[in-house]
A and B are shown apart, each in its own frame.
Chain A
Amino acid sequence: MVAFLGGNRMSGAAHDQLRHRRAAESRPFATRITAAVTHAALCLAALPAVSFTLSGNAAAQSDSAAKKTVPNDAVALDPSTLRVERHVLPNGLTVLLHEDRSIPAVTLWQWYKVGSRNEHPGITGVSHYFEHMMFNGSAKVPPKEYDRILESNGGYSNAFTDRDMTAYYEDISSDRLDVLLELDSDRMAALSLLPEQLKSEIGVVKEERRLSVDNSIPGLLDEQLYSVAFDASPYQWPVIGWMGDLERMQRQDLVDYFRTYYAPNNCILVLTGDFDSRQALEKIQAHFGPIPAQAPPAPPVNSEAEQRGERRAEVHYPAQNVSFVIGYKAPSASSPDAPVLDVLASILSDGESSRLHRSLVYEQQIALSVSASFSERIDPGLFEFYIELKPGQASQAGEKSLDDVLEKMRREGPSDRELQKAKNQLAAGFIRGLKTNNGVGQQLGYHEHVFGDYREIFHKLDKYRSVTSADCQRAAKQYFDNAKRTVVTLVPEETAR
């Protein structure tokens, strides 16, 4: 419910009514990668009591062997259990390889170091629009052929755009890896950006905006939050872009964008699954190696000054219930306080025994749902709260209850047991993020991009481990400062019928 991730491709067909899914995953037409999924998956931690190995072949391994090799109480997320090869090609393309032979399939991720933070007013939304165009024709692959070739080979593809990144992935059986390399190197080398496809695709993007922002309460609140909270940060505008900018976008804007940002030296390629690393690297080199590097893009400008006082905005829209979103100014992902804020978010809203759920949903029974989240971002971002109240409840009551919970955290910090619980939850959540080839690739690519080194996964574990109650209390005092927050409230309106 936090940051809007403009996903290119939706997954209506994947919504299976015979299946039971948790709420965050169950919305029809959610993009494959939703904000909620990403946040959960990217929260990393490990705990003394957790161990795992990503063993190569699940079926071949016997019970007793597994028990012997992995003692129950071992500490275990390190380079020996998550083996990764890292290479940088002469043209600057970073390549990460992780072999896992559990199923005969591979996942190929490509993380381009470009997102809406690289835009400027007038072309907001171009990163996301561009993501759509990456499926719409390149030198050797005419429009429509990308998906047709991929699906004809049993593959699936999707992508998402966020403020800091644009990421693409494909899942396919391992004997078809060449198909992916051919398709993706061609679009990196020479994207077509044909006028006819640009015209129909902007219609698709506008419908996506109508779906996820203009006719969506969470979307409306989120867009307002970022535009009010920031004055001069590139996080000020929405990932999907202002409708006016979408109307205005010219082909040349995209051509410039492609040359600048879709260069091999601005991309991280991650391959996970059933392959031989040496052979795979040769193939990657053969396909992507000839694409020339470009001059590195200029870093985005962030002139955001310190916030000096609470900001408030309202969104008037027909609705049954009041909801509101609050964003406190938060540090960037590289801050030493980032792991502390992850732990705080867990203590505040992870599960029904978390502080906010317990207070607002269970005891006072004024809210239907509560969430707290810290988004790791390259530039300083927000620590966000999203609260939907029950029918008949006023926003003042909800805000007061939230303030009380935060005040208690500032005053006392968490208990030892709460702290341990949060660490356990973050640790288990990390293991869950590695269930699939796709999940492993996502973790590796994300950390390589945001932290410049995938091994941050391992470092972060130590950081989580060392978070203390005093750290949490100090961070709560420092960051949950009402002079540095923005509150956006939904004011339900009756419409004339």
Chain B
Amino acid sequence: MSLGLLNRLSGRVCGAGVLLIVMGLVSVSPAAGPLRLPPVERVQLKNGLVVLIQASHRLPLVDFRLVVRAGSVDDPQGKEGLANLTADLLTQGAGTRDAQQFAEAVAFLGGELSASASREQVVVSCEVLRKDFVAGLELFRDCVVKPTFAPEEFRRKQGETLGAIESQKDDPSAVADLELPPLLMGSHPLAHPVIGLTKSVSGLTCDDVVSFYRAHVTPDQAILAVVGDVDRDAVIPALEAAFSDWKPAKQAAAATYAALEDSSRKVLVVNRPDLTQSQIRFAGPGVSRNHPDYYAITVANTILGAGFTSRLMNEIRVVRGLTYGISSRFSMYRNAGTFTVNTFTRNESLRECIDAVTAVIRQLVDEGPTDQELEKAKRYLTGQFPLRLQSPDDLAERIADIEFYGLDRDFLANYCDRIDAVTMADVRRVLRERCQVDKFRILVVSQSSQVMKSLEGLGPVESKELE
């Protein structure tokens, strides 16, 4: 493909033929100005806390983001949901303020302060206006270092959590997302829902929460990102002062866990007799976040199931009109990962949809993408990349995750070059390795009585009631 010629043509776009040629311009280094990100300064406080500071003054906002190396993977067996409940309680009373006083103080600043758990992280994030740096830091520090864990707040949050678990059952998509990890991973630490199970959450005690907090929420197991309209020289002394009472743990660091084993085909139908639309998931093992194939997998997945021109979107939505949305993704954790395809269709077209998804994946693996598709995916990824680097909260998340997963410190600066360096051979290889569709497990949330027969021949099928 002669890029030089196409470049000249692109100056004056004036018809369909030329428009199509514009596509040929992909992949060479972006002609737009370079992305200029403020530098990230990395310092370690006296108590071991790693701090990342990135000053950016476009808006008068400051974001604090603390990432703790603990999550639902650290929930003891039988205490599923403990990391989540612990995170929830961090903001329910801290320092000298009870839960309502704490919420009132945050709201009066027009600030946002929240704490949550995911599979591998407990995250506390706080965003305030620049003028409220000191007040915001105090509130943020209090919920990290001085949470009260009052028994009445524990009971209230426990009750809310149990209510939320019930509530999720009313959302078919949420049911599918909760049922899928156990179908793929069995009793692996990544499998159970972060929010926990009715039985396990009912049995949790306030002492469990305090123990989890003491073991995990410590400066030597945490990363703090401070991004936005800050004065770098003033930030570090302010942080040293704020966190001086926060002591490192005596326990060992977070436990590790095994990679996923290879899967074999199973089909599970979760019965929801009221549904006229079936939720569908495919799942198989993926890779960990620091896998050397990260870039090739990202490109391959874009071709298969990300964006509006992916193979799956084209065939299932655009050509067949079977769904409103379909996507594939690799979820990558520290030591393991998953691959999933998400979609939904009316009950009558369930089997057609499953067969069509299967055929799309198989064909892409067997034949590989076209050169044009490869270039399109790279350009799409590199073109979209800067857009998520505009907000201080997005930046805080990005730089904290680089530290969390131990990635290249220049990940953001090098991302586009690394994507551009992915070859066709890389993409074909990772597709063959990671997208063995015949082994994928399939989950369906639907009216069992209406759809069971249509699933014959896909492999061993089981059905269950929603618990």
Enumerate chain A interface residues (CB-CB to B < 8 A).
Answer: 9-13, 15-20, 22, 27-29, 47, 49-52, 54-55, 57-61, 63, 66-67, 70, 72-73, 100-105, 135, 139-142, 144-145, 147-149, 151-157, 171-176, 178-179, 182-183, 199-208, 210-211, 214-217, 274, 317-321, 350-354, 358, 361-362, 365, 368, 388, 390-391, 417, 420-421, 424-429, 431-432, 434-438, 495-497
Would you call A103 and B390 a contact (CB within 8 A)?
Answer: yes
Would you call B26 and A153 a contact (CB within 8 A)?
Answer: yes
- CB-defined interface of B240-284 with A at 8 Å, one 1/0 digit per residue? 000000000000000000000000000000011111110000000
Which residues of chain B have C-beta atoms less than 8 A from A207's C-beta? 277, 321-324, 344-346
Would you call B125 and A29 a contact (CB within 8 A)?
Answer: no
Would you call B274 and A140 a contact (CB within 8 A)?
Answer: no
Would you call B305 and A13 a contact (CB within 8 A)?
Answer: yes
Would you call A175 and B30 a contact (CB within 8 A)?
Answer: yes
Minimum distance in angstroms from B371 CB to a CB of chain A: 12
Within 8 A of A (CB), among B144-197: 156, 159-160, 162-164, 166-167, 169-174, 177
Which residues of chain A have C-beta atoms less than 8 A from B226's C-beta? none
Enumerate chain B interface residues (CB-CB to A < 8 A).
Answer: 10, 13, 15-16, 19-20, 22-23, 25-26, 30-38, 55-61, 99-100, 103-104, 106-111, 114, 116, 118-119, 121, 123, 125, 127-131, 156, 159-160, 162-164, 166-167, 169-174, 177, 229-233, 271-277, 289, 305-310, 314, 317-329, 331-333, 342-346, 372, 375-376, 379-384, 386-387, 389-393, 397, 401, 465
Bound form: Cα–Cα A33–B59 in Å = 22
Which residues of chain A have C-beta atoms less than 8 A from B104's C-beta? 353, 421
14 of the cross-chain contacts (CB-CB < 8 Å) are A10-B325, A20-B125, A54-B58, A72-B130, A103-B387, A141-B19, A173-B30, A175-B32, A204-B317, A211-B277, A215-B172, A362-B100, A424-B108, A432-B127
Q: A153-B26, A321-B170, A352-B103 are in contact. List 19 more A-B contacts (CB 8 A).
A: A11-B325, A17-B119, A47-B110, A101-B33, A103-B390, A139-B16, A140-B15, A147-B308, A151-B379, A171-B384, A172-B383, A176-B383, A183-B19, A210-B344, A320-B170, A321-B163, A424-B109, A428-B109, A428-B128
Known: A154-B379, A207-B344. A173 touches B386 (CB 8 A): yes
Q: Decide if the interface of chain B is mainly helix, strand, loop or mixed.
A: mixed
Bound form: Cα–Cα A211–B342 in Å = 13
Partner of B331, one of A17, A155, A201, A362: A17
Would you call B156 and A362 a contact (CB within 8 A)?
Answer: yes
Would you call A147 and B309 a contact (CB within 8 A)?
Answer: yes
Top 5 A-B residue pairs of the complex, sorted by shortest distance between their CB atoms: A154-B383, A203-B321, A428-B110, A12-B327, A10-B325
Minimum distance in angstroms from B170 CB to a CB of chain A: 5
Which residues of chain B have C-beta atoms less than 8 A from A421's C-beta? 104, 107-108
Which residues of chain B have C-beta atoms less than 8 A from A427's C-beta? 110
Bound form: Cα–Cα A66–B60 in Å = 10
Which residues of chain A have C-beta atoms less than 8 A from B343's C-beta? 12
Would you call A204 and B177 a contact (CB within 8 A)?
Answer: no
Which residues of chain A have C-beta atoms less than 8 A from B58's C-beta? 54-55, 58, 100, 102
Minimum distance in angstroms from B199 CB to a CB of chain A: 15
**Which residue of chain A lies nearest to B58 when distances are taken between CB atoms in the complex?**
A58
Would you call A274 and B33 a contact (CB within 8 A)?
Answer: yes
Would you call A9 and B308 a contact (CB within 8 A)?
Answer: yes
Minimum distance in angstroms from B341 CB to a CB of chain A: 10
Would you call A29 and B106 a contact (CB within 8 A)?
Answer: no
The number of A-B residue pairs with CB atoms under 8 Å apart is 323
Partner of B318, one of A12, A63, A144, A432: A144
Bound form: Cα–Cα A216–B167 in Å = 12
Which residues of chain B have C-beta atoms less than 8 A from A428's C-beta? 109-111, 128-129
Minimum distance in angstroms from B136 CB to a CB of chain A: 11
Would you call A432 and B61 a contact (CB within 8 A)?
Answer: yes
Which residues of chain B have C-beta atoms less than 8 A from A216's C-beta? 171
Bound form: Cα–Cα A391–B130 in Å = 41
**Which residue of chain A lies nearest to B347 when distances are taken between CB atoms in the complex?**
A210
Would you call B331 and A18 a contact (CB within 8 A)?
Answer: yes
Would you call B229 and A66 a contact (CB within 8 A)?
Answer: yes
Would you call B125 and A390 a contact (CB within 8 A)?
Answer: no
Would you call A203 and B322 a contact (CB within 8 A)?
Answer: yes
Partner of A153, one of B23, B114, B331, B390: B23
Bound form: Cα–Cα A166–B108 in Å = 35
Bound form: Cα–Cα A217–B174 in Å = 13
Would you call A58 and B173 a contact (CB within 8 A)?
Answer: no
Bound form: Cα–Cα A321–B323 in Å = 28
Partner of A211, one of B32, B319, B324: B324
Which residues of chain B have C-beta atoms less than 8 A from A54's C-beta? 58-59
Partner of B99, one of A72, A352, A432: A352
Would you call A151 and B273 a contact (CB within 8 A)?
Answer: no
Would you call B103 and A368 a contact (CB within 8 A)?
Answer: no
Bound form: Cα–Cα A67–B382 in Å = 34
Minimum distance in angstroms from B215 CB to a CB of chain A: 21
**Which residue of chain A lies nearest to B21 when distances are taken between CB atoms in the complex?**
A149
Would you call B324 and A361 a contact (CB within 8 A)?
Answer: no
Would you call A179 and B273 a contact (CB within 8 A)?
Answer: no
Bound form: Cα–Cα A199–B57 in Å = 50
Known: A204-B324, A391-B163. A435 touches B390 (CB 8 A): yes
Which residues of chain A have C-beta atoms less than 8 A from B346's C-beta? 206-207, 210
Bound form: Cα–Cα A202–B317 in Å = 11
Partner of A175, one of B31, B108, B127, B272: B31
Which residues of chain B have C-beta atoms less than 8 A from A182's C-beta? 13, 19, 22
Known: A13-B329, A72-B131, A351-B107. A55 touches B57 (CB 8 A): yes
Minimum distance in angstroms from B151 CB to a CB of chain A: 14
Bound form: Cα–Cα A214–B16 in Å = 40
Known: A142-B16, A149-B23, A497-B271. A420 touches B108 (CB 8 A): yes
Minimum distance in angstroms from A103 CB to a CB of chain B: 5
Which residues of chain A have C-beta atoms less than 8 A from B35's C-beta? 103-104
Would you call B320 and A18 a contact (CB within 8 A)?
Answer: no
Minimum distance in angstroms from B61 CB to a CB of chain A: 6
Would you call A204 and B323 a contact (CB within 8 A)?
Answer: yes
Minimum distance in angstroms from B89 CB to a CB of chain A: 13
Which residues of chain B have C-beta atoms less than 8 A from A103's C-beta? 35, 386-387, 389-390
Would you call B273 and A435 a contact (CB within 8 A)?
Answer: no
**Which residue of chain B lies nearest to A21 when distances are taken between CB atoms in the complex?**
B116
**Which residue of chain A lies nearest to B319 when distances are taken between CB atoms in the complex?**
A200
Minimum distance in angstroms from A218 CB to a CB of chain B: 9
Which residues of chain B have C-beta atoms less than 8 A from A353's C-beta? 100, 103-104, 106-107
Would you call A431 and B60 a contact (CB within 8 A)?
Answer: yes
Bound form: Cα–Cα A387–B435 in Å = 43
Which residues of chain B have C-beta atoms less than 8 A from A321's C-beta? 163, 166-167, 170
Known: A20-B116, A59-B36, A173-B32. A431 touches B320 (CB 8 A): no
Would you call A153 and B379 a contact (CB within 8 A)?
Answer: yes
Minimum distance in angstroms from B284 CB to a CB of chain A: 16
Would you call A174 and B32 a contact (CB within 8 A)?
Answer: yes
Known: A216-B171, A424-B109. A153 touches B22 (CB 8 A): yes
**Which residue of chain B lies nearest to A28 when distances are taken between CB atoms in the complex?**
B173
Which residues of chain A have C-beta atoms less than 8 A from B174's C-beta? 27
**Which residue of chain A lies nearest to B92 when distances are taken between CB atoms in the complex?**
A352
Would you call A29 and B59 a contact (CB within 8 A)?
Answer: no
Which residues of chain A have C-beta atoms less than 8 A from B10's C-beta? 178
Known: A17-B331, A55-B57, A428-B110. A495 touches B274 (CB 8 A): yes
Known: A352-B100, A417-B108. A214 touches B276 (CB 8 A): yes
Minimum distance in angstroms from B254 CB to a CB of chain A: 16
Which residues of chain B have C-beta atoms less than 8 A from A173's C-beta? 30, 32, 383, 386
Minimum distance in angstroms from A236 CB to a CB of chain B: 24
Bound form: Cα–Cα A78–B27 in Å = 41
Bound form: Cα–Cα A319–B372 in Å = 48
Bound form: Cα–Cα A406–B186 in Å = 49
Bound form: Cα–Cα A51–B194 in Å = 39
Would you call A202 and B321 a contact (CB within 8 A)?
Answer: yes
Bound form: Cα–Cα A101–B35 in Å = 10
Bound form: Cα–Cα A105–B392 in Å = 17
Interface centre among B104, B389, B391, B465 (most CB of A within 10 A): B104
